[in-house]
Every structure is written in C-alpha cells, then in structure tokens.
C-alpha cells in the first residue's frame, strides 16, 4: 500500500497576534517617523538660529577691523577687539582671555556675549593666513574664503559650525585678512540629545500603548468570528442542528456576515428538510404501484396460470401500474432537471405569440369535446428568454389540468398580453376550483387535493411543481386564483426582451450548436 503523503502542519499564528503586531508596529512606526521629522526640523531651526547669532558677531568684528587701512597686525587688531573689565562682567569665569579695555568699542557687548561662550572661539588671520589674534585655542584650520561661508563639520571630537569671512578695509578696499569663528554648538547638541532621549522614551511608551490597544481591539473584533467558528463546528458535528450565531449588538460588516451566515444555514436546513420530505414522498408514491403489482403477480401465481380471465385482468392492471410508475419516474426526472435550466440553455429565446397559438391549436385538436377560447393580445412576435420546449411543457401541464379538473362546463380560456413588466399568460377553467388552503399547496411536490381521484386521472401531483420550477428558473412567476366549485385561473408572468437582444442571443445559440440544438433534446 502506498503510504499517504504526510503534510507538515503549518505554523499557526492567531489572528489576534497578527492584528496586534500590525496595529502596534504601524502606530509605532508612524509615531517614530513623525518624531524624526520633528527632530530634523528642530535641528535645522536651532542651526539657523546659531548661524544668525554668529553672523551678528562676525559683522561686529568686521566693522571693528575694517577701518584699518593697510595691514592687520597683532598690535592694531588686539586693541580693537579687547574690552574693559566692566563690559566683561557677564562672562566672568568662562575663560575668555581678553585683556585691556576699549571704551570706544560700540559692539563690545554683542561681541563679548557671543565670545564669552566656552564653545565659541574667534580668530583673526593676516591675509597670508597667520593667526594674529584668538580668543581661545582651537585647532581648526583656517578656511580662506572670498565671501562669508558657513560649514557644518563633524570630524574627530569636533562637531560644530565654522564661519569664515574675509576682512576688507573700508577705507582702501584692500583685502586685509580673515576672521573665523568656530562654534562647537554644545547647547544645541545638548538640546538635540535631550530631544532624542525623549523621542526614544515616548516611542517605547507609544509601542506599548499601541500593542495594548491593538490587542484589545483585535479581541473585540474577533469575538463574533469565534462565535461563527463555534457555530460551524456544531453544525459540522450535527448537520440537523438548529443552532444559529447569536445576533450582534453592533451594526457593521460583521453583523452582516452573521445575518448572511444564519440565512445560509436556514436555507441549507430547508433544503435538507425538503430532500428528506422528497425521499419520503417518492418512496411513498412508489409503494402503492409496487404493492398493486405485487398483489397481481401473487394472484397470477396462485390462480392466473389456469384461469385466462384472471390472467388477462391482472396483466392489464399490472401494465397500467407500470405505465403509471414510468410516468412518475419521468416526472421526477423532469423535476430534478428543471433545476439546471439556466446552465443548460443560457441563450435560448422563443416567440410567445407563436407558441401560445400552437399549443392552444394542439389542445383544440386533442380534446374536441372542449371549447378553447384564445384571447391573444400579443402583437407580432413577443420574445422571451426561455427554451421553447420548457414553456410548451408548462402550458401543457396547465391545459392538461384545466381539462382534467373541469366538470360540466367544458370551456377553457387562454389569454396572453404584454404589460410593463413583460408578458402574462393565463389559463382559466370553470371546473372544480380550489379551496383557499389547497390553493397554497398545489405547487408543492406530490400534493393532490383528492389523492384517489387524482390518481384515477393519472396525476402524480408533480405537474405544477415542475411548472413552477421551470418558470422560476427563467425569472418568471406562476400564481393561481381560484374559487371552490367555480374554477381556477393559473397565470404565468415572464420578462420579455427586445427583438435586437433576441436576435443576438439566437445568433449566439446558433453559433454554439449550428445543427439546431433543441431538435432532439429533451428536458
């Protein structure tokens, strides 16, 4: 024996976990992206603020040095940049090593304020690049430049901004040298570090909160799904069970799903019940003819062999029962096939006008003792999307019944007309009629008002079920109006189509089966 291939069980990850992970990570990533964008923007703002401040300082220094006419030296630069002790008060203890004083320095305050910061240093160079003056020692090389330049530099232990500018004499226009400010931007870096720490801590909190929210939400959303699964499991174990999913309090897609699912279970239940009833009915219907056959065969066995009269009688009765069984089996077959008409004849079309005329003519010929009155209001061809034999079969069932259940007045009216929804055909007789209760049931399988009399007339109680099944398969309707003792009127309503559509469908049907597909086919 070939061993069955072993399928490896796939790893199971509960939906709640997936959902939680997706929601949690989604919120976390969004938060992180926003935070980083904010972080970047803050960094840019702080840098441009710093740049403006340095620019002010630079302008102040340039203005002080620009009156020099020819050459920058230690001697003419230092006094112009030095301030006295009183100006210097604010920066005490910051390590700025300016000496002496200069009361004329109008920019002294602003210059000192900036230079008093331990992370900022200023240096002045001659036009040959020799350092003439510096506020504190910085090992950043001079950037010789013709215009003011700002550079963010991150190299070794240095991480900050370097601003360089040329010094031009305001009197002679001569290039005197360079001024360079080196700013390690410690305050900005500290602020950015603090901001980053806050972002990291808040991101962690956001991750925890979003995971928790995701978990709570997923549990809430998945609750109905768990109850659906439970119900399916119960129905799987016991298909006859009438258990249903409890209605949800909310009104959303999940409650729609629950309603649809319960509806589906109801339909399946009805179908199972119908099938069970059908099987019981069929066996019941077949039991009678089989019992009759058995009785006659026993009779023949005992006495029939020698008694030609019994022989004839029993054989005739048996044959009649066999014929009845044959018709019953054919009708049951018709009924099951009537379910599949949509699939079998999707493009079939027929002309109602012509068909009604033809069927009524046939009946007039077969039943000369009846008067058939056709009230046909149809003008020209009226097209219906239906396989011709099917509508013919339905009309035959209705006309047959009208004949079978007519009493003294042997008159049958057939009318046909179009209306806004399509076309309608009615078959009216003036016979037994139906009680209110029977009227509701005549379309049920095997239903006969008077079983014995109906059997006498060869009825199995399946004709109207077949008719209903066929008409509804083509999206039509069949109904009955009746008064007990006065007669009945059966009405068929069918949707019609325009001649163009009919022609188109006809050509498709012809192309699919060029040799007249309906010629030999039976229902």
Report, in Å, the least distance between residue 310 CB and ligand ADP: 31
Q: Does 474 bind ligand ADP (CB under 6 A)?
A: no
Report, in Å, the least distance between residue 346 CB and ligand ADP: 27
Report, in Å, the least distance between residue 279 CB and ligand ADP: 19
Q: Does 82 bind ligand ADP (CB under 6 A)?
A: no
Q: Does 285 bind ligand ADP (CB under 6 A)?
A: no
Report, in Å, the least distance between residue 481 CB and ligand ADP: 11
Report, in Å, the least distance between residue 428 CB and ligand ADP: 9
C-beta nearest to ligand ADP: residue: 459
Member of 289, 488, 492, 494 binding ligand ADP (CB under 6 A) = 488
Measured from the CB atom, the residue of 107 and 490 that comes closer to ligand ADP is 490
- Using the contact rule CB under 6 A, the part of the chain among 64-72, 129-137, 167-175, 432-440 near ligand ADP is 432-440
Q: Does 177 bind ligand ADP (CB under 6 A)?
A: no
Say how far apart CA 281 and CA 258 lie, in whole Å.
34
Member of 429, 439, 478, 509 binding ligand ADP (CB under 6 A) = 429
Measured from the CB atom, the residue of 289 and 433 that comes closer to ligand ADP is 433
Say how far apart CA 390 and CA 348 lie, in whole Å.
10
Measured from the CB atom, the residue of 261 and 370 that comes closer to ligand ADP is 370
Q: Does 476 bind ligand ADP (CB under 6 A)?
A: no
Residue 411's DSSP bridge partners are 371
Q: Does 138 bind ligand ADP (CB under 6 A)?
A: no
Longest dimension (CA), the chain: 160
Measured from the CB atom, the residue of 370 and 447 that comes closer to ligand ADP is 447
Contact positions with ligand ADP (CB under 6 A) in 44-63: none
- Work out the burial of residue 8: count CB atoms within 10 Å of its CB; fewer than 13 is exposed, 13-18 middle, 19 or more buried: exposed
Report, in Å, the least distance between residue 518 CB and ligand ADP: 24
Q: Does 183 bind ligand ADP (CB under 6 A)?
A: no
What does the block give as tokens for 401? 């019944």
Residues 6+ apart with CB under 8 A from 68: 76, 77, 80, 169, 176
**Cα-based distances in Å from 59 to 39, 52, 56, 181, 384:** 30, 11, 5, 11, 95
- Using the contact rule CB under 6 A, the part of the chain among 3-11, 95-103, 114-122, 400-408 near ligand ADP is 400-408
Contact positions with ligand ADP (CB under 6 A) in 368-397: 397
**Cα-based distances in Å from 416 to 104, 163, 513:** 119, 101, 31
Answer yes or no: are the C-beta atoms of 154 and 19 closer than 8 Å.
Answer: no
Member of 58, 464, 470, 492 binding ligand ADP (CB under 6 A) = 464
Q: Does 289 bind ligand ADP (CB under 6 A)?
A: no
Measured from the CB atom, the residue of 138 and 429 that comes closer to ligand ADP is 429
Number of residues that bind ligand ADP (CB under 6 A): 22
The full DSSP string for 467-509 is: HHHHHHHTT-EEEEEEETTTEEEEEEEE-EE-HHHHHHHHHHH
Member of 401, 415, 469, 473 binding ligand ADP (CB under 6 A) = 401
Q: Does 430 bind ligand ADP (CB under 6 A)?
A: no
Answer yes or no: are the C-beta atoms of 143 and 166 closer than 8 Å.
Answer: no
Beta sheet of 175-183, edge-to-edge order: 131-134, 120-126, 175-183, 158-168, 149-155
Beta sheet of 423-429, edge-to-edge order: 371-376, 411-418, 423-429, 487-494, 477-483
Say how far apart CA 34 and CA 520 lie, in whole Å.
75
Task: Select from 345, 421, 416 the least CA-distant residue to 386.
Answer: 345
Q: Does 278 bind ligand ADP (CB under 6 A)?
A: no
- Using the contact rule CB under 6 A, the part of the chain among 14-22, 220-228, 229-237, 398-406 near ligand ADP is 398-406
Q: Does 431 bind ligand ADP (CB under 6 A)?
A: yes
Strand 149-155 and strand 120-126: pairing?
unpaired
Contact positions with ligand ADP (CB under 6 A) in 434-463: 434, 442, 447-449, 454, 459-463
Answer yes or no: are the C-beta atoms of 73 and 132 closer than 8 Å.
Answer: yes
Residues in contact with ligand ADP by the rule CB under 6 A: 397, 401-402, 405, 429, 431-434, 442, 447-449, 454, 459-465, 488
């Amino acid at each position: 024996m070939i061993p069955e291939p072993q399928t490896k069980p796939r790893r199971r990850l509960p939906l709640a976990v997936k959902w939680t992970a997706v929601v949690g990570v989604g919120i976390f990533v969004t938060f992180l992206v926003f935070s980083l964008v904010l972080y970047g923007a803050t960094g840019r703002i702080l840098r441009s603020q710093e740049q403006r401040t340095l620019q002010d300082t630079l302008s102040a220094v340039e203005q002080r040095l620009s009156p020099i006419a020819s050459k920058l030296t230690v001697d003419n630069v230092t006094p112009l940049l030095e301030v006295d002790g009183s100006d210097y008060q604010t920066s005490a203890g910051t390590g700025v090593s300016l000496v002496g004083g200069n009361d004329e320095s109008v920019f002294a305050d602003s210059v000192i304020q900036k230079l008093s910061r331990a992370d900022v240093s200023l240096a002045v160079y001659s036009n040959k690049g020799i350092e003439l003056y510096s506020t504190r020692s910085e090992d950043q090389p001079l950037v010789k430049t013709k215009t003011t330049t700002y550079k963010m530099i991150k190299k070794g232990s240095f991480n900050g901004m370097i601003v360089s500018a040329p010094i031009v004499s305001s009197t002679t226009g001569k290039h005197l040298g360079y001024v360079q400010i080196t700013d390690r931007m410690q305050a900005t870096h500290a602020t950015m570090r603090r901001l980053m720490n806050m972002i990291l801590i808040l991101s962690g909190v956001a991750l925890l909160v979003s995971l928790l929210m995701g978990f709570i939400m997923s549990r809430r959303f998945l609750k109905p799904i768990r109850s659906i699964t439970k119900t399916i499991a119960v129905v799987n174990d016991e298909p006859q069970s009438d258990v249903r999913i409890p209605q949800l309090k909310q009104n959303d897609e999940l409650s729609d799903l629950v309603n649809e699912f319960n509806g589906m279970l109801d339909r399946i239940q009805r179908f199972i019940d119908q099938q069970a009833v059908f099987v019981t009915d069929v066996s019941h219907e077949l039991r009678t003819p089989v019992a009759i056959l058995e009785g006659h065969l026993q009779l023949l066995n005992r006495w029939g062999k020698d008694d030609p009269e019994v022989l004839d009688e029993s054989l005739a009765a048996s044959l009649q029962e066999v014929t009845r069984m044959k018709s019953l089996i054919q009708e049951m077959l018709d009924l099951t096939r009537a379910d599949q008409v949509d699939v079998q004849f999707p493009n079939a079309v027929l002309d109602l006008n012509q068909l009604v005329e033809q069927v009524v003519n046939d009946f007039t010929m077969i039943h000369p003792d009846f008067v058939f009155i056709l009230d046909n209001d149809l003008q020209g061809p009226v097209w219906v999307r239906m396989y011709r034999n099917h509508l013919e079969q339905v009309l035959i069932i209705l006309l047959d019944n009208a004949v079978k259940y007519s009493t003294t007045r042997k008159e049958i009216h057939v009318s046909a007309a179009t209306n806004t929804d399509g076309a309608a055909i009615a078959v009216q007789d003036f016979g037994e009629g139906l009680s209110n209760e029977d009227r509701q049931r005549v379309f049920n399988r095997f239903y006969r008002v008077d079983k014995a009399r109906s059997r006498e007339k060869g009825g199995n109680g399946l004709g109207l079920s077949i008719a209903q099944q066929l008409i509804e398969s083509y999206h039509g309707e069949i109904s009955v109006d009746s008064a007990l003792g006065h007669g009945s009127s059966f009405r068929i309503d069918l949707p019609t189509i325009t001649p163009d559509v009919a022609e188109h469908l006809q050509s498709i049907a012809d192309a699919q089966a060029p040799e007249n597909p309906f010629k030999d086919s039976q229902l």
